[in-house]
Amino acid sequence: MTQFSCKQWALLIGCLSLSMFACKPKNTGSAVGADAAAKAYVAPGQYDQFYNFVSGGFSGQMSVYGLPSGRLLRVIPVFSVDPEKGWGYSEETKAMLNTSHGMVPWDDLHHTELSQTNGEIDGRWVFGNANNTPRVARIDLTTFRTAEIIELPNSAGNHSSPFITENTEYVVAGTRFSVPPDDANGDVAIDTYKDNFKGTISFISVDKNDGKMDIAFQLQCPGVNFDLSHAGKGKSNGWFFFSCYNTEKASTLLEVNASQRDKDFIMAVNWKKAEEYIKAGKGRKQSVKYASNRYDEKTHSATSQIKTEVLVLDVKDFKDICYFIPCPKSPHGCDVDPTGEYIVGSGKLAALVPVFSFDKIQKAIAAKDFIGEFDGLPVIKYESALHGELQKPGLGPLHTEFDGKGNAYTSFFVSSEVVKWNIKDLKVLDRAATYYSIGHLTIPGGDSKKPDPKYLIAYNKITKDRYLPTGPELSQSAQLFDISGDKMQLILDFPTIGEPHYAQAVRADLIKDKSLKIFKIDDNQHPYVAKGEGATKVVREGGKVHVYMTTIRSHLAPDNIEGIQQGDEVYFHITNLEQDWDVPHGFAIKGANNAELLIMPGETQTLKWVADRVGIYPFYCTDFCSALHQEMSGYLRVSPKGSKVPLQFSIGKTAPVSK
Ligand code: RUQ
Ligand code: CUA
C-alpha cells in the first residue's frame, strides 16, 4: 500500500496532534524483555507449536513458518512460477497458471484463509487470492501444494478475498476495481465510471469432500472499491460484510478524489437470501470466460478448462440482499468478532474505530431505519447500527483480530502500533510498538469463532534499521508478540518472503499428522510413468521424442541417450521410484530454456527440452540425495538433422532400441 509520510497523514487527519502519536516508536533497542529469547526458543529437533501461513504479496506465493520460532518451513508456489520447484515450468503444472488471458506467470497474493467447520479452523485447505488477474487458489494441506486455481470474471483487482463462510460453503471474493461487466461493451470513456462501472462479488462454492471450487453465483453491486470483508459467524452466519471505499466513484487521483466523503460504507450482504433467489431460478445467465484449473494427484497433472457462463444477481432488483452502513473514512479492514455480534470497520483515514452491532443492524433493517439510498440500495442510519466508537486509538487503523476473551487487537499503520482494546466497553487496554508501519496482524484462529490467543504476529511494511543492510531493498518483517498475559510482549523479529499482507496460523496438531510423506508409485496414473527401470524407454514420434526416465539413489535410467537430432523436441518424463519420505530427486539438462524439475517420491514430472545444437549434453540430479549424488548424471547426444545415428538408450550397457 502507499506509504504516506507522517506529515502527509498529519495533514490528512488534521485534527490530531502528531506529538501524541510519533510515527517512529521510541526505545527501539529496549523493547524486548529479557525472557524473550526463551519464549521464542524451539530447541533443535523440536517441532513448533503452530503453522503460520503467510501471504507473499508481490511474490505471488505463500510461505509457511513455524511459531514461535519464526523458522521458514516452506514456500508454496501459487500464482507465480517457481523455477526451484518447476512450478509453471514442468509440462504438468503449466495449466495451473492458465487464464482467459493465456498463461499468467505472476500475481500478487494478499490474503490467506484457512478452511473452517462450524466456524473453527479445520486444517484441510488454505485459500489465497490473486489480486491482479483475479483468481482464487486452494492449497491442499496434506501435500502443501496448490491443488486448484479458479479465475473470476467481471472482476479486476481481487482484493476483498478470499474470505469464507463458517462451514467453508463459499469462498467469497469482492472486486477492488469496479469495471464494466465482461459482457457489456467495455470500450467506454473512463469518465463514464458512474454509469458503466459495476462492482462484482463472487460466491465460489467448495465441495465438502474434495474441496473442488466452482462459481456458484455472482452479485452485481454498485461501482465502488471493495477492500476487505469477513463472513458473519454464529448469530450473524448468513451475512457477509464488505468495506467499501471510493464511494465517490472517482476514476482519477483517487488519493484525493476517493477521500472526499466523511463516511464511506460497510456493505452488509444477506448471502442466504441471495442463495434463495438463486435456488428459485432468479439468476441471470451471463456469458463470460474464465479458467478453472485443477491438479490431479493420481495423474500428477493439471488440466485447465475455460468456462463460459456465470449466474448473476443484480442486487438492485432484490431489495433485501444488500444494505449500506456509513463508516468513516475509507474503511480498510472489516472484521467480525468471535461471537458474530460485533463488526469492526477500520477507516484508514479516521481518528476512531467504529464498532457495529449485528443485532442493531437487524433492528434497523426491520424498522426501515434508513437515511436514504446509495445506487438504489438502502443506507442504514449510522447511529442505529453503531455499538460504539473506540476513541483516539491511534493513527491509520487497518486490521483487527480477536482473542475470544472479549478483546480486539487493531493494527495502526501510521502510528506503527498494535492496540489491544475491550470490545464491549471500548476501552484501550494496551499498546505495543511495531517496527515499522504494521499492515495486517494475526492471532491463531483470530478471525474464527475460536481463537487460540497465545501469540500475535505483526506484519510490517518497513524494516529500516532492524536488519543488516542488504542494498536498497530490505526484507519485510514479522514480529511475534506473546499475548498470553495482560500486556503484549515483543519476543521475536523474523524476515518474510515478498510482502506479507494477511496471514493465518493454526495449532500444528491439526495438520502435521495428516501431512503426506510420499506418493504411492502403484497409484501413479501419469500417462508417461515408468514404474520401474524395466519400463524405461525412449520413443520417437516424428520430431518429438519421449524419454521415460526413472530416478533412484543414485542413478538416472537411462543415462546414455543417442539418436536425438537437432531440432527435436525432447520430453523427459521422470518418475521418482523412491518410496521414502524426504527423498526428492531433481533433473536439469544443459541449455534448458525453462527450469529444473524437482520430483517427489512416487511422482512423475516432465521437462520439455529442445535440441538446438549438435553436441553432447550432460544431465544430472539437482537435489543432493545421497553420498553418490554427484554421480547421478548422464549424457545425451544430439546429431545433425537426418543423421543415421539410431535412437538408443542404455544404462550400464546398451539396451535394445524401442520402436
Ligand atoms: S491489505 S495491509 Cu492487501 Cu489486506 Cu491491509
Ligand atoms: Cu538424486 Cu541427487
pLDDT, tens only, 32-81: 778 999 999 999 999 999 999 999 999 999 999 999 999 999 999 999 99
Check pocket membership of 625 for ligand 2, CB cut-off 6 A: yes
With beta carbons less than 8 A apart as the criterion, state whether 199 and 224 touch: yes
- Report pLDDT digits (tens) over 636-646: 999 999 999 99
Instruction: Report how far ligand 2's centroid is from the alpha carbon of 528 (Å).
Output: 21
Closest CA to 573 of 216, 213, 92, 177: 92
pLDDT value at residue 433: 97
Instruction: Report how far ligand 2's centroid is from the alpha carbon of 575 (Å).
Output: 13
Q: Which ligand is nearest to the CA of 111?
A: 1
Instruction: Report how far ligand 2's centroid is from the alpha carbon of 311 (Å).
Output: 50
Q: What are phi and psi of 577, to 5 degrees?
A: -80, -10
DSSP 150: E
pLDDT value at residue 2: 40
With a cut of 50, list the residues of the chain below it in pLDDT: 1-23, 27-30, 659
pLDDT value at residue 31: 66
* Alpha carbons 245 and 265: distance in angstroms, whole number: 7
pLDDT value at residue 15: 36
Q: Which ligand is nearest to the CA of 634?
A: 2
Q: Work out which ligand 1 atom sits closest to the CA atom of 159.
A: 3
Check pocket membership of 632 for ligand 2, CB cut-off 6 A: yes
DSSP 179: B
Question: Can you spell out the DSSP letters for 52-107?
Answer: EEEE-BTT--EEEEEETT--EEEEE--SS-BTTTTBTTSTTTGGGGEETTEE----
Q: What is the CA radius of gyration of the chain?
A: 27
- Report pLDDT digits (tens) over 81-117: 999 999 999 999 999 999 999 999 999 999 999 999 9
Count of beta carbons in the 10 Å neighbourhood of residue 318: 17
HEC readout, 187-216? CCCHHHHHHHCEEEEEEEEECCCCCCEEEE
What average pLDDT does the chain have?
Answer: 94
Residue type, 479: Q
pLDDT value at residue 658: 55
* Alpha carbons 659 and 431: distance in angstroms, whole number: 74
Q: In Å, what is the CA distance from 609 to each residue of 212, 277, 566?
A: 33, 52, 11
Q: Which ligand is nearest to the CA of 57?
A: 1
Q: Which ligand is nearest to the CA of 627?
A: 2
Ligand 1, atom 2, residue with closest C-alpha: 439
Instruction: Report how far ligand 1's centroid is from the alpha carbon of 390 (Å).
Output: 21
Closest CA to 554 of 602, 477, 450, 625: 625
pLDDT value at residue 657: 55
Closest CA to 252 of 199, 195, 190: 190
Mutate to test the pocket of ligand 1, among 436, 502, 504 (most ligand atoms within 8 A of CB): 502
Q: Work out which ligand 1 atom sits closest to the CA atom of 439.
A: 2
Check pocket membership of 630 for ligand 2, CB cut-off 6 A: no
Q: In Å, what is the CA distance from 460 to each residue of 467, 550, 633?
A: 13, 45, 45
Helix (H) or strand (E) holding 557: strand 555-557
Q: Work out which ligand 2 atom sits closest to the CA atom of 551.
A: 1
With beta carbons less than 8 A apart as the criterion, state whether 204 and 172 touch: yes
With beta carbons less than 8 A apart as the criterion, state whether 565 and 615 touch: no
Bridge partners, 249 (sequence order): none
* Alpha carbons 469 and 177: distance in angstroms, whole number: 36
**Cα three-residue angle 349-355-360, rounded to 5 degrees:** 135
- Report pLDDT digits (tens) over 454-505: 999 999 999 988 999 999 999 999 999 999 999 999 999 999 999 999 999 9
* Alpha carbons 565 and 568: distance in angstroms, whole number: 6
Name 360's Cβ contacts closer than 8 Å, sequence gap at least 6.
Answer: 384, 385, 386, 387
pLDDT value at residue 273: 98
Check pocket membership of 621 for ligand 2, CB cut-off 6 A: yes
Closest CA to 621 of 563, 579, 572: 572
Name 351's Cβ contacts closer than 8 Å, sequence gap at least 6.
Answer: 13, 15, 16, 392, 395
DSSP 48: P
Name 86's Cβ contacts closer than 8 Å, sequence gap at least 6.
Answer: 93, 594, 595, 596, 597, 598, 605, 607
Look up the pTM and report it: 0.94
Instruction: Report how far ligand 1's centroid is from the alpha carbon of 464 (Å).
Output: 20
With beta carbons less than 8 A apart as the criterion, state whether 408 and 354 touch: no
* Alpha carbons 432 and 612: distance in angstroms, whole number: 60
Instruction: Report how far ligand 1's centroid is from the alpha carbon of 506 (Å).
Output: 20
Check pocket membership of 629 for ligand 2, CB cut-off 6 A: yes
Q: Which ligand is nearest to the CA of 58?
A: 1
Check pocket membership of 387 for ligand 2, CB cut-off 6 A: no
